[in-house]
Each structure stands twice: as structure tokens, then as C-alpha cells.
């Protein structure tokens, strides 16, 4: 059934392809499709048999399956027919297509191709078309071929060379809405009494500021104009009006101070509650959430975004409320004085409202993008500052400065686009208010000439209009800060609305005293679209030490993450003493787990504080006892301040071995029943490893232990070794049993022994001996 042919140039090029092949598969590199043959689907296979990158292609026509192996120049072909099948699998980021012939009874392997999972959609499409074309050829019925290059969901044309619709598969980013700000009410609700008091004070202070223009009417009509006509000034009346003006100013000042102070206190508390709630919710989210987020972005959301919301609530929202009250009350006073003149005064209002609506829609998209681009700037800082040692070690200061400059310029460009819209809006509003003022002057003079109003009325109108248009202009400017606050609120609620993939149980089961038995039953797990664990079964007895071994990507660390419940299994269950760990409160379960990582993380603080991190109320004697058991006591005493010595950020004041022994002491102090050792000695020298191993010997006594070790020799004391490959357990036994099998473990051990021998023979001391 299999025939092999070279890419003959005499064969015609592709015809009627549903989507164009990438440019590098055109011309002489194109699949040898015969005349009248139609290309139905294709997938690039970019990994060879040793998982090295190399270009390859599998193409399906309406008659044959064509393939060119990565790194090869010849094409293989298989005619479609009964018994021919393509099987698909994926593991740890690698997808596999396997061609099998089942027509002869026992399945016969014909070929296999591997690719990175970015090509998985094309591979699945090829399998679907393969099965459809094969079945139609066998049955003799024509295949129902979908429109070439058309998305089956939205019917939009597919871009050349793509198998996924960019419309249907794009990440949906909902633009921020001003209504998002109303969701902040849940944080404002505890302070509704103070908010009511602030609103009443705002109402009273706004009313007080509207008194002076009203007093100018009698001051003009009853004092100043009569004086120009020869009537003496009534000192008592002038004193009364001026006293009223002074009193109104003092009352407005006092009420303004009180409302500002009260609402500022409330807004700060709302901001503090918002930060605390967001951070607490963030801590409850699963490891999966943090795997897809940047540190700088999360810091920007909890820091700068909540600050922006706080400023909006304390300043701009108060100004907005004052502006609305001022406009409404001023409009009411103007109508009561002269309805026609009031109508002329309010003419620009609909145009300004329409402009605010149009500009708001443009700004809300712009400000959300500004926030996202600003997080790129903070991400560079969050990457570079903690990793400054690596930056300097590789002399990459200029490169990191260029990264920051590029992110900063991107931020500048986005802000420039937003400011372009805003800079046109603000002067336009000012122009409309000036035109409105000019119309009021003209209409007012015309009414005075017809004796319909007095000069005092026009003067009062102009005074009120000054306040009215000033507040209108101010309210239009608030559009900018409102949309910024709405964008910030959306990014905050994106965190608060996220549901953890490792939820607390609805009906929690309280664990009695944990004995340490672990049962793993038919578990499966995927990272996104990568299958990592498949059909795994294992039982671990209380107090037993299990060693996990296998190649990188075999699923060892994933299994540990599932046991710690950093992730939840997609299939099957993990039981602790017969209880499903998903039914146990997360904190109660993890208190029974001691975790020692390959790269121990220490917090900024003293050594004593880091050892007591899992048990903050531990006494100094308990801390010292844990340090002694971890073989850390001696080097701690040699430090300037002993247990009160600062370790620096991330423990950079200590060596790798010292940090590891501190982390072992931290695990010892909580006296866990389950112990997880994840490559605990892989990053230290041999001498330090012996010290750490002594500490680990103290740590594992009487505890159920699961250890991952790069050096197989460190697992000699394990009761059983569990060998993993491609997300499955392939061998279980002790060292001698597994060596006798001469299987996966045997090959791993021999490979390490050869590497160790080659390192010794190439060392300077060995070279000297050979000489």
C-alpha cells in the first residue's frame, strides 16, 4: 500500500486547494499532486523523530495521503482505502500523528509524524477530512465537502494558510463600561450613613454658593442704578446685602470643608477595602491563574488602578455631584427669574451632551488600552529588578533599557492617540460656552431695550451663567477621569470575577488525624490542550518513601502539583486516608504537607521569621530545634545577628545550600504527615548535597514522602521507585528490582552513569592522572 516517490518537477502544481500552503512549500517543495487531484488538508510537522526542529509536511488529497518527513527531501504516498487509519495523540507540548494499516488483521505501523501543538488545529482538521474522504471512497458515496477556506461557524473567509477563524477564536475583550463603576457600591455600602451625610452637605454647600448672584439683583436695581439716577445710597440696605454675601461665602466654605473631609475619608476606606478584597481573592486563585499572568500587571491592578479609583471617588465624583447639583439648581433659578432668557442660556447644553456621549465611547476603549500598555512597563520592571543579578552577569543592561524604552514609547503612543481626541473635545466645549454667553448678552440687551428685564436681572443671569458654564465645562472634563476609573474598575473586577479552578468544597469533610495514605485512582490532567497525565494509578502506604523518576516532561512535577492540589485532576481522584482531597478544605489539607522545592523561596525578613513562616506562633526553642534538625543551626550562628539576621530579598544574602536548609527547617517546624521533595538537591554541589541529605534523612522519618530527584543515586533509600514516561507509570519497584528488569529505569541509570564517567574523565584531575 505504501509507495515512495521523489518530488518530481514534471508533476503539476497544486490545484483547487482549500487554503494556500505557506510560501516555503510552493514550487519545487510542493507536494506532488497529480492532474485532477485536489488538496483537501495539510499540517506542518516541525519535529523529527528525536524532537529536533526540522520542516516537514503531511498533505491530504481526495485520493492519497502525502508526507515528507522533517529534514527529508522525498515524498511518501499512501492511497486512501479501507483499513487505513490516522491516530492522534499529544503529550507535553508534542503532538503525534500515526498512520496505521488494519486491513491485514493485526495493526501495522506505517509512519509517524510529530509537531508542536501550535499545529494541532490543522492536524485535527486533516484527520476529520481523512476519515470523511476514506469513508466516501469505500462506500462509493460522494463526500459532503465544506466550503473551502470558509469558517463553518461565522462563514467568514479564512486567511491564507490558517485553519482557525480569527473572528471566532480571538480573545474577547469587553470594553469597559461606565456602569462598571456602579459595582463599587458593594464596597461603599458599609459607609452609606457617611455618604448620605456627604450628599446632604454637598447639596447645602451648592445652595450656599448660589445665594450671592441672587443678591446682586437687588443690589444693582435698588442701590447702584438708583444712585446713578440721583437717589442717595441706603447704607443699611447695602450692609444687609453685603452681609448676606459674606455669610453665604462663610457657610459655603464650612459646608465645603465638611463634605470634602467626610467623602475623602469614605473614599480612602473604599479604596483600602477594594485593595484588600482583591488581594485576598487573588491569594485564593489557583496556580493555573498565576501561570497566565504577569507579576507587573497584577501589581499595577492592585496598586495604581485602586489608587485611580480612590482619587475618582474622593475628588472627581464629588466634583461631578457638585456640578450636577449646580447645573440643576442654577437652571431652576434661571427659569424662575426669566423663562425665555433661561431657554437661550440652556441652548448649548444638548450639543455638549451629544459630544460627551461621542467622546466617551472613544475614550473608554482608549483608556483601557492605556492601562494594558502601562502594565507592559511595570512588567519590564517586575522582570528586571528581581533578576538584576542575571542582567548584570550577562551584561544585558542596554538590552533591558531598550525593552523599557520600547514599552515606554508604546505607552506614549497610545496616550498620544487618546489625548488627540481629548484635546479636541475640551476646547470645543469651551467654544460652545463662549458662544452661549455671547447669545445671552445679545438676547439680554434686546430684552432690556424692550423693558422686559432690568439690568440687575441681566447681571444676575450673567453671574449664574458664569457658574453654570464653568460647571458644564468641568463636568465635560470629568468624562476623561470617569472613563479612566471605569477602565481601572474593569481590570479589578476581572480579578474578582475569576473563579478558582481549585474551588473550596461545597460540603467540606474534616480530616481526622492524618496517617498519610495516598491513593491515586485513574487520574488524568491536561495543561490547556496538552495531555500531561493519563490513566495513572498508585497507592502509597503511610510512612512510605516514594521516588519519582523519569525524563523531563514525563509528568513528575505535575503529579506533585496534583497531590498538593495546586491543580485539580481532570479525571479520576486522589484520596488521602480514603477521603477525596477535593472534599477537604484546602487550608486544612495543605497544613499536612511539607514542601521542599528545587529553588527555595525565602521572604525578605529574618531567618527566624522564614523558618516560622508556616507556624508564625512558634517559639524560639521550636525554631532552633527545627534548624538543628535541618543542619542549619551552625551556619546561622556564624551570621552577624544569628537567627535575627536578614536574608535579603528572596534570600540572596545566603548561599543556595543555606537557603535549602532553611526551607527544610521551615518544613520540619510544621511537622507534616506528607512530605514533597521536588529536586531538593539538584542545584547544589556534592559537599552541600551531603549536608542537605543529612537534613532530609531527619525530615523523612515517619512521614509519607514523595521525592523527585535528578540524581538517581539520591533515591537509593526510597522504599519504591516509580518510573514515569509520557504521563504514565511504566515501572514500579526498588532499585535492584528495576535494574534487573533492564527497562526504562535501567536505561536512565546507565545514561547517568555514562555522563558521570565522561565528566570525571574530562576533569583536570583525571587529565593529570592520564598524563
Residues 468-500: tens digit of each pLDDT? 766 666 666 666 677 777 777 887 888 888 887
pLDDT in tens, 676-714: 887 766 555 566 666 667 777 777 777 888 888 766 766
Residue 493's pLDDT is what? 83
Residue 177's pLDDT is what? 62
Residue 1's pLDDT is what? 40
Residue 570's pLDDT is what? 85
CA 531 and chain centroid, separation: 22
More reliable by pLDDT, 203 or 473: 203
User: Grid coordinates representing 9?
Assistant: 518537477
For residue 398, name the pLDDT band (cuts at 50, 70, 90).
Answer: confident
Residue 770 scores a pLDDT above 60: no
What is the side-by-side order of every strand in the sheet holding 518-527? 530-540, 518-527, 571-576, 579-580
More reliable by pLDDT, 751 or 114: 114
The whole model's pTM is what? 0.57
Residue 294 scores a pLDDT above 80: no
Residue 519's pLDDT is what? 92
Residue 42 scores a pLDDT above 60: yes
Cβ 212 vs Cβ 245: under 8 Å: yes
- Lowest mean pLDDT, pick from 42-56, 172-186, 338-352: 172-186
More reliable by pLDDT, 177 or 266: 266
Q: Across residues 413-418, what is the average pLDDT?
A: 78
490 vs 130: CA distance, rounded Å: 45
pLDDT in tens, 328-374: 887 787 788 778 877 877 777 777 777 766 776 666 666 667 766 77
User: Grid coordinates representing 505?
Assistant: 468544597
More reliable by pLDDT, 68 or 311: 68
Dihedral-angle region of residue 4 (phi above 0 means left; psi in -120 to 50 means alpha; beta otherwise) = beta
Please count the other Cβ atoms lying within 10 Å of the Cβ belonging to residue 341: 21
Residue 18 scores a pLDDT above 50: no
Residue 174 scores a pLDDT above 70: no
Residue 529's pLDDT is what? 63
Q: How far is CA 230 from CA 98, 213, 223, 376, 455, in A?
A: 111, 25, 11, 74, 17
Cβ 482 vs Cβ 178: under 8 Å: yes
Residue 256's pLDDT is what? 82
For residue 574, name the pLDDT band (cuts at 50, 70, 90).
Answer: very high
Q: Across residues 50-75, what is the average pLDDT?
A: 85
30 vs 76: CA distance, rounded Å: 13
Residue 642 scores a pLDDT above 50: yes
pLDDT in tens, 520-536: 999 988 876 667 888 88
Three-class SS of residue 747? helix
Q: Across residues 448-461, what is the average pLDDT?
A: 78
Angle (CA) 592 593 596, round 5°: 155
CA 321 and chain centroid, separation: 35
3 vs 86: CA distance, rounded Å: 17
Whole-number mean pLDDT of the chain? 76
Amino acid at each position: 500500500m505504501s509507495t515512495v516517490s521523489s518530488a518530481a518537477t514534471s508533476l503539476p502544481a497544486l490545484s483547487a486547494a482549500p487554503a494556500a500552503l505557506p510560501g516555503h512549500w510552493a514550487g519545487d517543495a510542493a507536494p506532488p499532486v497529480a492532474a485532477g487531484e485536489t488538496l483537501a488538508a495539510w499540517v506542518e510537522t516541525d519535529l523529527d523523530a528525536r524532537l529536533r526542529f526540522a520542516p516537514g509536511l503531511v498533505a491530504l488529497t481526495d485520493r492519497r495521503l502525502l508526507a515528507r518527513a522533517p529534514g527529508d527531501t522525498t515524498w511518501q504516498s499512501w492511497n486512501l482505502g479501507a483499513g487505513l487509519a490516522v491516530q492522534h495523540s499529544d503529550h507535553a507540548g508534542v503532538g503525534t500523528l500515526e498512520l496505521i494499516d488494519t486491513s491485514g488483521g493485526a495493526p501495522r505501523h506505517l509512519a509517524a509524524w510529530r509537531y508542536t501543538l501550535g499545529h494541532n488545529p490543522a492536524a485535527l482538521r486533516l484527520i476529520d477530512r481523512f476519515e470523511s474522504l476514506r469513508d466516501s471512497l469505500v462506500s462509493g458515496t460522494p463526500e459532503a465537502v465544506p466550503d473551502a477556506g470558509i469558517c463553518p461557524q461565522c462563514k467568514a473567509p479564512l486567511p491564507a494558510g490558517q485553519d482557525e477563524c480569527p473572528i471566532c477564536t480571538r480573545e474577547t475583550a469587553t470594553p469597559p463600561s461606565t456602569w462598571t463603576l456602579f459595582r463599587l457600591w458593594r464596597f461603599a455600602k458599609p459607609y452609606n450613613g457617611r455618604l448620605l451625610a456627604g450628599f446632604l452637605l454637598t447639596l447645602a454647600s451648592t445652595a450656599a454658593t448660589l445665594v450671592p448672584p441672587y443678591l446682586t439683583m437687588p443690589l444693582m436695581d435698588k442701590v447702584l442704578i438708583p444712585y446713578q439716577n440721583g437717589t442717595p445710597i441706603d447704607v443699611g440696605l447695602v450692609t444687609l446685602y453685603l452681609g448676606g454675601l459674606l455669610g453665604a461665602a462663610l457657610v459655603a466654605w464650612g459646608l465645603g470643608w465638611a463634605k470634602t473631609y467626610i467623602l475623602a475619608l469614605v473614599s480612602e476606606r473604599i479604596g483600602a477595602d477594594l485593595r484588600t478584597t482583591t488581594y485576598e481573592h487573588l491569594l485564593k486563585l489557583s496556580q493555573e491563574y498565576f501561570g497566565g499572568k504577569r507579576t507587573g500587571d497584577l501589581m499595577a491592578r492592585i496598586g495604581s488602578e485602586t489608587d485611580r479609583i480612590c482619587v475618582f471617588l474622593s475628588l472627581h465624583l464629588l466634583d461631578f455631584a457638585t456640578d450636577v447639583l449646580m447645573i440643576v439648581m442654577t437652571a431652576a433659578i434661571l427659569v424662575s427669574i426669566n423663562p425665555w432668557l433661561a431657554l437661550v442660556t440652556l441652548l448649548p447644553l444638548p450639543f455638549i451632551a451629544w459630544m460627551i456621549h461621542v467622546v466617551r465611547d472613544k475614550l473608554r476603549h482608549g483608556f483601557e488600552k492605556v492601562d494594558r500598555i502601562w502594565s507592559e512597563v511595570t512588567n519590564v520592571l517586575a522582570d528586571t529588578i528581581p533578576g538584576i543579578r542575571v542582567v548584570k552577569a550577562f551584561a544585558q543592561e542596554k538590552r533591558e533599557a531598550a525593552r523599557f524604552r520600547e514599552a515606554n514609547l508604546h505607552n506614549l503612543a497610545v496616550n498620544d492617540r487618546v489625548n488627540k481626541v481629548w484635546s479636541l473635545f475640551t476646547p470645543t466645549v469651551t467654544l460652545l460656552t463662549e458662544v452661549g454667553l455671547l447669545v445671552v448678552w445679545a438676547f439680554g440687551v434686546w430684552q432690556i431695550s424692550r423693558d422686559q428685564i432690568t439690568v440687575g436681572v441681566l447681571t444676575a443671569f450673567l453671574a449664574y451663567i458664569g457658574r453654570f458654564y464653568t460647571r458644564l465645562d468641568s463636568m465635560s472634563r470629568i468624562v476623561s477621569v470617569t472613563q479612566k476609573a471605569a477602565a481601572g474598575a474593569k481590570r479589578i473586577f476581572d480579578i474578582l470575577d475569576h473563579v478558582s479552578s481549585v474551588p473550596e468544597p461545597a460540603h467540606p469533610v474534616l480530616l481526622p488525624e492524618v496517617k498519610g495514605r495516598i491513593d491515586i485512582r485513574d487520574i488524568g490532567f491536561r495543561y490547556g490542550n496538552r495531555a500531561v497525565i493519563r490513566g495513572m494509578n498508585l497507592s502509597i502506604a503511610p510512612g512510605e518513601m516514594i521516588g519519582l523518576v523519569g525524563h523531563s516532561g514525563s509528568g513528575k512535577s505535575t503529579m506533585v502539583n496534583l497531590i498538593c492540589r495546586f491543580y485539580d485532576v481532570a479525571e479520576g481522584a486522589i484520596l488521602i486516608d480514603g477521603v477525596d482531597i477535593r472534599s477537604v478544605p484546602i487550608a486544612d489539607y495543605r497544613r499536612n504537607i511539607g514542601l521542599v522545592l528545587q529553588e527555595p523561596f525565602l521572604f525578605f525578613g529574618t531567618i527566624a521569621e522564614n523558618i516560622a513562616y508556616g507556624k508564625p506562633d512558634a517559639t524560639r526553642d521550636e525554631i532552633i530545634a527545627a534548624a538543628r534538625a535541618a543542619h542549619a543551626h551552625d551556619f546561622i550562628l556564624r551570621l552577624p545577628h544569628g537567627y535575627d539576621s536578614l536574608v535579603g530579598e528572596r534570600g540572596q544574602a545566603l548561599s543556595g545550600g543555606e537557603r535549602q536548609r532553611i526551607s527544610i527547617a521551615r518544613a520540619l517546624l510544621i511537622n507534616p504527615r506528607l512530605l514533597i521533595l521536588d529536586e531538593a538537591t539538584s542545584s547544589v554541589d556534592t559537599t552541600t548535597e551531603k549536608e542537605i541529605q543529612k537534613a532530609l534523612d531527619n525530615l523523612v522519618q515517619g512521614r509519607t514522602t514523595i521525592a523527585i530527584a535528578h540524581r538517581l543515586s539520591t533515591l537509593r533509600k526510597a522504599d519504591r521507585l516509580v518510573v514515569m514516561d509520557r504521563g504514565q507509570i511504566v515501572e514500579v519497584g526498588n532499585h535492584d528490582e528495576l535494574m534487573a528488569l533492564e527497562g526504562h529505569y535501567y536505561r536512565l541509570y546507565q545514561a547517568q552513569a555514562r555522563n558521570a564517567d565522561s565528566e570525571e574523565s574530562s576533569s583536570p584531575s583525571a587529565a593529570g592522572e592520564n598524563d
